Structures are given as C-alpha cells and as structure tokens.
Amino acid sequence: MPGLIRGVARTAVVAGTASTVAGRVNRRQQNKWAQQDAQAQQQAAPAPQQAAPQAAAADPIQQLKELGELHANGVLTDEEFAAQKSKILNG
C-alpha cells in the first residue's frame, strides 16, 4: 500500500509540474504575441503625425504669426518674409 501511495503522489507531482510549466509557456507566448501586435499597430499608424501639419497649414492667421516671429527674430530676411506672406495670403 505505501508503494501505491508513493506512486500516486509521484504521478501527481509530475502532472502538477507539467501543468505549471505549460501555463508559464502559454503566458510567455501570449505576452510575446501581444507585444508583436502592439508593434505592428504602431508601425501601421503614422497617419496622425501627418495630419497635424495639414491642420496647421489650414490656419493662415497662425502661419502669419509664426512667420512674423521668424522675421522679428532675424531668421527670415525682408524678401523671404514678403514672399512667404504672399504665398499664405494668396493661397
């Protein structure tokens, strides 16, 4: 009888260990796949970054303010300022 109990206990330990290891492997695989999905979504979604400059381009008042600041700071010459200003106002 003690040999039978020992055999059953050993089988239970082996089965429990196998179940634990399988659970760990499954969790690791799920985490790896989730990370791969997140990376794929990040690589596929650069469109919002491109939308911001277009929204700024649609506001001529803001563009003129920024252009005026660049001119006042000496970044743009008078000719460059006039050329950019006419582009914004005309179109």
Determine how many CB atoms are found less than 10 A away from the CB of residue 76: 18
Give the count of alpha carbons within 13 A of 8, CB side only.
5
Taking a C-beta distance cutoff of 8 angstroms, is the pair 62, 68 a contact? no
User: What angle separates helix 78-90 from helix 60-72, to the nearest 10 degrees?
Assistant: 180
pLDDT for 53: 55
- The structure's pTM equals 0.38
Split the chain (91 residues) into runs of 10 and give each run's mean pLDDT. Answer: 74 76 84 87 66 61 89 90 89 73
pLDDT for 83: 92
pLDDT for 14: 74
